[in-house]
Amino acid sequence: MPRKLVAGNWKMNGLRQQLSELDALYKAKSDASVGILICTPATLIESAAALMAPGAVKIGGQDCHANIAGAHTGDVSAEMLADAGATAVIVGHSERREDHGESSDMVRAKAVAAHRAGLTAIICVGETLAQREAKNTLDIIGGQMAASLPDGCNRENTIVAYEPVWAIGTGKVASTKEIAQIHNFVRERLIRRFGEEDGAEISLLYGGSVKASNATDIFATDNVDGALVGGASLAADDFLPIIKALENTA
């Protein structure tokens, strides 16, 4: 069975005072059947990781540069994230692909960097509304997977997140039928490329407007091993019920 995980993506939100949200999560956490990861802004990783250690709640980054170090003003390397206490990093989020023009080739280089630094790469794929309406969803997801996932992905170092772009931050959620179709497709591709042993065990997260009210149905869907949660990860009161919902299906 792939590992069950709820990952929070704080995006560009969070000042030090918000670390009390993590404290609440930490105290409430009792069931080890579900992993919890919070991807904070880079500025908070070190203090969040210190606050959580040693604990069930892990801390991650939201992006990394492909290189170890060098003249890349404003960028942060995977090694720096690991040094600050991160255990994972999101790469290829649609907001990075869109706002920063990141291609799947760049995403793959970032995933290689994450693996090099000993971080789990959470590699995001997802179609836009126009691509869905043009009935190109599977082609887009298949293409993003082929180009964004490096060789050497395995169940320890990689998680794939399917996030339809039109469902992110919009309150629109893909139907469980749509989610099942894509997740089954992603699973098949993972097995074909990385073999039964790893392909069947890489965790597959759904993301896009996941909240307490829809989490149970989403988690009951085929090949959904958890969620990547944006808005509803910012407050423990919203995030904890999502973790509970996954624990109840685990």
> Active-site positions?
93, 163
- CA-to-CA distance for 170 and 94, rounded, in angstroms? 14
Q: What is the rounded CA–CA span in Å between residue 22 and residue 9?
A: 13
Q: Residue 45 Cβ, how far from ligand PGA at the closest point, in Å? A: 17
Is the distance from CB of 24 to CB of 236 less than 8 angstroms? yes
Closer residue to ligand PGA, CB minimum distance, 21 or 198: 21
**d(Cα 229, Cα 14) in Å, to the nearest integer?**
15
CB 212 within 8 A of CB 232: yes
In the bound state with ligand PGA, the residue whose beta carbon lies nearer, of 128 and 154, is 128
Residue number with the smallest Cβ distance to ligand PGA? 230
Q: Would you say 88 or 194 has its CB closer to ligand PGA?
A: 88
CB of 103 to ligand PGA, least distance (A): 19
Cβ proximity to ligand PGA: between 109 and 168 the closer is 168
Enter the tokens of residue 223: 């090949």
**Distance of closest approach, residue 208 Cβ to ligand PGA, in angstroms:** 5
> How many of the other CB atoms lie within 10 Å of CB of 85?
18
CB atoms within 10 A of CB 102: 20
The CB-of-178 to ligand PGA minimum distance in angstroms stands at 15
Structure tokens at 45: 């990783």
Q: Euclidean distance between the first and final Cα of the chain, in Å?
A: 10
User: What residue ranges bind ligand PGA (CB under 6 A)?
Assistant: 9, 163, 168-169, 207-210, 228-232
